[in-house]
Chain A
Amino acid sequence: MGIGYNTITFNQDKCDGCGDCMLACAQAKAGSDDIVHSRIQILTTDQPSGDPQASDSGAIELAMCRQCGDPKCVSNCPAAALTKNATTGTIDWHADKCVNCLLCTVGCAFGGITYNAEIGHVTKCDSCDGNPACVKVCPKGALEYNTSGSIYNRISDKDDLFVPGLSACQGCNSELLIRHTLRNVGTNVVVATPPGCIPGMGTVGYNGKTGTKVPVFHPLLTNTASMLAGIKKQYNRVGRDVTMLALAGDGGVGDVGFQSLSGAAERNEQQLFMCVDNEGYMNTGMQSSGSTPAGSWTSTTPVGKEMQGKRTDAKNMAKIMMMHNCEYVATASLAFMDDYYEKLDKAIAASKHGFAYLHVYAPCPTGWRFPAADTIEVCRKQVESNFVTLWDFTPEQGLRFTRSTDNPIKMAEYLKQIGKYRHLSEAQVEHLQRRVNDQVRSLKAFEQLTEVS
């Protein structure tokens, strides 16, 4: 497995062009207030061209080293003065070898390595040895130091405990999720996968062969939590500490699976119950579930003369589980891996004492009608628009947002990517927006309770 690197990311939408990052860089790298020395260049335009067709429509842009994986600047250097650092991922410049020929600048299409006439050689971003000055001063959160690369390093030598060749749809978010999850949970586990996409893609196996390299079983939709509770009690009786993990779809959680789940949560059974929420019964032909948002096209909530998609709102299962006062409850999205891993670790730890519930939002290219390559982008916009929110809960801590719900992107930005919302009227979009606002307001009220106590 390759190695993942930490990177500086730029969120253009949040940048107001204040230039604090450039000043910080110039000070850190040259001890000067002159931004000519800054290795990050924020490009604002005073006079937008006004032509929406032009790529130069007044947006704020960025020129800086992308620390490419396969860097052309390095290939173009005749003096071996640039090298890709295999440990940190940055492209290092070696003053003692550089001959000032500027051929590196021919290789860079990002304006990331440039000649600084005042000091007489090229300069480029070196990520400040993993503590970038520009990120620290950004008042808008437009610059972030993305450390998700270290996650991949952390898990790279752990075994993938599913077999290769699971038959999930192309672009399936759930397959990515369960592979990441089990890698981190490890082998000391019993996995339950009630009917749904996850056993459907072959994890429980075919023809007497298993698709999972750890004990796995296929409970009914109705009894997943109670079966895991029974197995856990037997292991406890014989004195073995084994993790109980349910990988269930939203139907197996919130609809037909709910009574056994609610019971297990109420009894605070020691297990980690994960809901993979793809907003419907996707495995059996895209029927509507209790998690399907209002307005969605599904095969049981069609779009036609009589009906314009689902008429009722989705229930917020994570909130319902929080009301059970479980040991740990959290929501997560694979577009925010750092956040997910942090919560997974907490949930595994909590499942040793009692009931832990992880609700992972899992956009489905097949059932939602969007291109397979867009899965993570849909995940990202689902969160950025507040359509779903990222938070966690423990009885001691209360509710805490792990990603701010302030300054969401427009709901339409999220909806327009997804085929199942294509028919929505303005009134339906407004309804969804109201619903989202209500959810955020309600969760914020819980957060305030946390702050008061």
Chain B
Amino acid sequence: MPHCKYLIIGSSHAALEAVSAIRMQDTEGSLTMITRDSHLPYSPTVLPYVVSGRSKADNVALRDQSYFEQHAVEFVTNRSLSSIEPDCNTAVLDNGDRWQYEKLLLATGASPIIPPIPGLDKVKHLVLRTLEDAVALRDASQKAKKAIVLGAGLVGMHGAENLAEAGLEVTIIEMQTQVLPGYFDPQAAQMIQSAFDQHGINMKMGHKAVSISPQSSDQQNTGCRVELDSGETLDADLLLVSTGVRPIFDYCSGSHLQTDQGILVDNHMSTNQKNIWAAGDVAQAKDFYSDTKVTTGILPDAVEQGRIAGMAMSDDPSLKNYSGGVPINTYTFYGQQAISVGTSDSSSGPLNGEPTDKLEIELTVDSDKGYFQKIIFKDNRLQGISGINAALDPGIMWQLILRRIDLGAVKKEFVAQPLETGRRLMSGTWR
């Protein structure tokens, strides 16, 4: 039976960060990284750029083979986890291999949600989560003429922009009334949406696809017809499903691992089972704002969690508690930058239900220049800041939120110049 000290399932940001953290403490302990993917590690976040052609599919690896050799990491591809037996420290793979571990990290990420729309399973549709998906979407976009994108989240918005740039006629269908919900408030979302409108993308907001069928005229069965709740029908020869992702933890059944929307972990990314940790998109960990546990699906959070898990697994004495998930998003569209750190909307999300007299909201908008900046304070502490074409250092804003720094004395300057004031505050804090 193969055996290793550290067994890591997954090969993206959380897994890679855990390997770095482990190797800082323990340069020799046997370490195996197993991925269901067939490539060197890459980030799902880079995939829209593979679709657009900005990144080459063979040039996005986050580590090369020599990294694994240098750091004594055994890298196993094309294998997924099928079950765990925590009582005997054993992980069972899809080919029946039984791996004995001393410490196990589950960083299996997430996979696209396929919504239960009648007929969707009968038509060819694309998703965007793996490198194969990206290459397939890129190829399809070169042949197709009309595209429908289901969902106006990050993947959908990136996908729609890429498809439109490739010359397709694109429609986005989104159940909610705004794009990028959770990251931007309705007003900012509207500004982002209007850029899409201006570029000729058909935005069907607040609409549901109620049924999907193959296009009757199409013999090769690549096209589809989507019927909306309004009764309107739309035809397309490319259908991209981007209605969110769901953590992959089907292998947990029978393992007594506590799960909810993801695998539940404590502040050291430890699961309820001995010698098992989870990090990244699959983990459901402490929220920064509340006592609940959340799955965030945010790259910088995956990095944080992976680091903490690796430190915990290798008994790093400087291990600290996870400070809690904060929604963070940087989004570039049509050459414009949208940044959101922390909560962006007081009427939904973590601040929903806060007495409004406790919240202070500073809003600056110049629609002509496409400029938007919204700052939310509570008790003189930053809760969230979001901006479009506004200069911000998101890393500094994140720290101001996490450290709950009192901005009372500098609030006016901060609102007028968040970039300079934030930098000055953090530079002073570091000393």
Contacts of A324 in B (CB 8 A): none
Partner of B394, one of A54, A80, A105: A105
B59 proximal to A (CB < 8 A): yes
Chain B 87-100, CB within 8 Å of chain A: the 1/0 string? Answer: 00000000000000
In the bound complex, do residue A106 and residue B394 qualify as a contact, i.e. CB atoms below 8 Å apart? yes
Query: Could you say which of A96-104, A141-149, A276-284, A433-441 contacts chain B?
Result: A96-104
In the bound complex, do residue A78 and residue B393 qualify as a contact, i.e. CB atoms below 8 Å apart? no
In the bound complex, do residue A107 and residue B303 qualify as a contact, i.e. CB atoms below 8 Å apart? yes
CA distance A99 to B420 in the complex (A): 26
In the bound complex, do residue B409 and residue A114 qualify as a contact, i.e. CB atoms below 8 Å apart? no
- Chain B CB within 10 A, most for which of A102, A103, A114: A103
B13 proximal to A (CB < 8 A): yes
Those of A116-150 within 8 Å (CB) of chain B = 117, 120
Contacts of B303 in A (CB 8 A): 72, 75-76, 107
B415 proximal to A (CB < 8 A): no
CA distance A79 to B13 in the complex (A): 11
In the bound complex, do residue B300 and residue A115 qualify as a contact, i.e. CB atoms below 8 Å apart? no
B317 proximal to A (CB < 8 A): no
Those of B388-403 within 8 Å (CB) of chain A = 389, 391, 393-396, 398-399
User: For residue B422, which residue of chain A has the nearest CB?
Assistant: A111
Known interface pairs A79-B49, A80-B60, A106-B394; A56-B428 also in contact (CB < 8 Å): yes
Partner of A102, one of B339, B419, B421: B339
| A interface SS class | loop
Those of B284-306 within 8 Å (CB) of chain A = 299-300, 303
Known interface pairs A105-B394, A106-B328; A78-B45 also in contact (CB < 8 Å): yes
In the bound complex, do residue A75 and residue B409 qualify as a contact, i.e. CB atoms below 8 Å apart? no
User: For residue B64, which residue of chain A has the nearest CB?
Assistant: A80
CA distance A56 to B426 in the complex (A): 10
In the bound complex, do residue B427 and residue A110 qualify as a contact, i.e. CB atoms below 8 Å apart? yes
User: For residue A113, which residue of chain B has the nearest CB?
Assistant: B395
In the bound complex, do residue A97 and residue B423 qualify as a contact, i.e. CB atoms below 8 Å apart? no
In the bound complex, do residue B45 and residue A102 qualify as a contact, i.e. CB atoms below 8 Å apart? no
Interface residues on B, range: 35 or more
Known interface pairs A51-B409, A56-B410, A99-B46; A107-B62 also in contact (CB < 8 Å): no
Contacts of A51 in B (CB 8 A): 409
A407 proximal to B (CB < 8 A): no
Known interface pairs A43-B420, A59-B428; A109-B396 also in contact (CB < 8 Å): yes
Chain A 32-62, CB within 8 Å of chain B: the 1/0 string? Answer: 0000000001010101010101111001011
Partner of B424, one of A45, A99, A103, A107: A45
In the bound complex, do residue A75 and residue B425 qualify as a contact, i.e. CB atoms below 8 Å apart? no
Known interface pairs A62-B427, A105-B394; A79-B43 also in contact (CB < 8 Å): yes
Contacts of A61 in B (CB 8 A): 423-424, 427-428
Contacts of B60 in A (CB 8 A): 78-80, 97
Chain A's nearest CB lies how many Å from the CB of B308? 13
Contacts of A107 in B (CB 8 A): 300, 303, 395
User: For residue B341, which residue of chain A has the nearest CB?
Assistant: A106
Partner of B429, one of A55, A114, A117: A55
Contacts of B307 in A (CB 8 A): 75
A63 proximal to B (CB < 8 A): yes
Contacts of B44 in A (CB 8 A): 78
Contacts of B428 in A (CB 8 A): 55-56, 59, 61
Known interface pairs A61-B427, A106-B330; A76-B299 also in contact (CB < 8 Å): yes
B195 proximal to A (CB < 8 A): no
User: For residue A54, which residue of chain B has the nearest CB?
Assistant: B409
CA distance A102 to B55 in the complex (A): 15
In the bound complex, do residue A111 and residue B429 qualify as a contact, i.e. CB atoms below 8 Å apart? no
| B interface SS class | helix
Those of B368-419 within 8 Å (CB) of chain A = 389, 391, 393-396, 398-399, 405, 409-410, 413, 419
In the bound complex, do residue B332 and residue A101 qualify as a contact, i.e. CB atoms below 8 Å apart? yes
Chain A 291-322, CB within 8 Å of chain B: the 1/0 string? Answer: 00000000000000000000000000000000
In the bound complex, do residue A114 and residue B393 qualify as a contact, i.e. CB atoms below 8 Å apart? yes
B358 proximal to A (CB < 8 A): no
Known interface pairs A76-B303, A120-B335; A108-B424 also in contact (CB < 8 Å): no
In the bound complex, do residue B393 and residue A49 qualify as a contact, i.e. CB atoms below 8 Å apart? no
- Chain A CB within 10 A, most for which of B61, B300, B395, B396: B395
Chain A's nearest CB lies how many Å from the CB of B46? 4
In the bound complex, do residue A101 and residue B330 qualify as a contact, i.e. CB atoms below 8 Å apart? yes
Chain B's nearest CB lies how many Å from the CB of A72? 7
In the bound complex, do residue B299 and residue A103 qualify as a contact, i.e. CB atoms below 8 Å apart? yes
CA distance A79 to B56 in the complex (A): 10
Contacts of A43 in B (CB 8 A): 420, 423-424, 427
In the bound complex, do residue B43 and residue A102 qualify as a contact, i.e. CB atoms below 8 Å apart? no
In the bound complex, do residue A111 and residue B393 qualify as a contact, i.e. CB atoms below 8 Å apart? yes
Contacts of A101 in B (CB 8 A): 45-46, 49, 330, 332
Those of A7-53 within 8 Å (CB) of chain B = 12, 41, 43, 45, 47, 49, 51, 53
Those of B17-63 within 8 Å (CB) of chain A = 17, 20, 24, 42-46, 49, 54-55, 59-62
Known interface pairs A72-B395, A97-B59, A100-B332; A111-B423 also in contact (CB < 8 Å): yes
In the bound complex, do residue A55 and residue B299 qualify as a contact, i.e. CB atoms below 8 Å apart? no
Chain B's nearest CB lies how many Å from the CB of A367? 28
Contacts of B335 in A (CB 8 A): 120
Contacts of A47 in B (CB 8 A): 413
- Chain B CB within 10 A, most for which of A45, A59, A70, A109: A109
In the bound complex, do residue A103 and residue B49 qualify as a contact, i.e. CB atoms below 8 Å apart? no
Chain A's nearest CB lies how many Å from the CB of B314? 14
Those of A59-90 within 8 Å (CB) of chain B = 59, 61-63, 70, 72, 75-76, 78-80
Contacts of B13 in A (CB 8 A): 75-76, 78
Those of B319-345 within 8 Å (CB) of chain A = 328, 330, 332, 335, 337, 339, 341
Contacts of B300 in A (CB 8 A): 72, 76, 103, 106-107
CA distance A61 to B427 in the complex (A): 6
Partner of B425, one of A56, A79, A106, A120: A56
Contacts of A110 in B (CB 8 A): 395-396, 426-427, 430
CA distance A90 to B341 in the complex (A): 27
Chain A's nearest CB lies how many Å from the CB of B413? 8
In the bound complex, do residue B395 and residue A108 qualify as a contact, i.e. CB atoms below 8 Å apart? yes
Contacts of B421 in A (CB 8 A): 56
In the bound complex, do residue A63 and residue B398 qualify as a contact, i.e. CB atoms below 8 Å apart? no
Chain A's nearest CB lies how many Å from the CB of B10? 15
CA distance A70 to B424 in the complex (A): 23
In the bound complex, do residue B410 and residue A54 qualify as a contact, i.e. CB atoms below 8 Å apart? yes
CA distance A112 to B395 in the complex (A): 10
CA distance A56 to B407 in the complex (A): 10
Name B residues whose Cβ lies closer than 8 Å to a Cβ of A. Answer: 13, 16-17, 20, 24, 42-46, 49, 54-55, 59-62, 299-300, 303, 307, 328, 330, 332, 335, 337, 339, 341, 389, 391, 393-396, 398-399, 405, 409-410, 413, 419-431
The 9 closest A-B pairs by CB, nearest first: A78-B43, A61-B427, A78-B45, A102-B330, A54-B409, A108-B395, A63-B423, A99-B49, A55-B428
Q: List 30 A-B contacts (CB under 8 A).
A: A43-B420, A53-B409, A54-B409, A55-B429, A56-B410, A61-B423, A63-B423, A70-B24, A78-B13, A79-B49, A79-B60, A97-B55, A97-B59, A99-B54, A102-B330, A102-B332, A103-B45, A103-B299, A105-B394, A106-B395, A107-B300, A108-B395, A108-B396, A109-B396, A109-B430, A110-B427, A111-B395, A111-B396, A117-B391, A120-B335
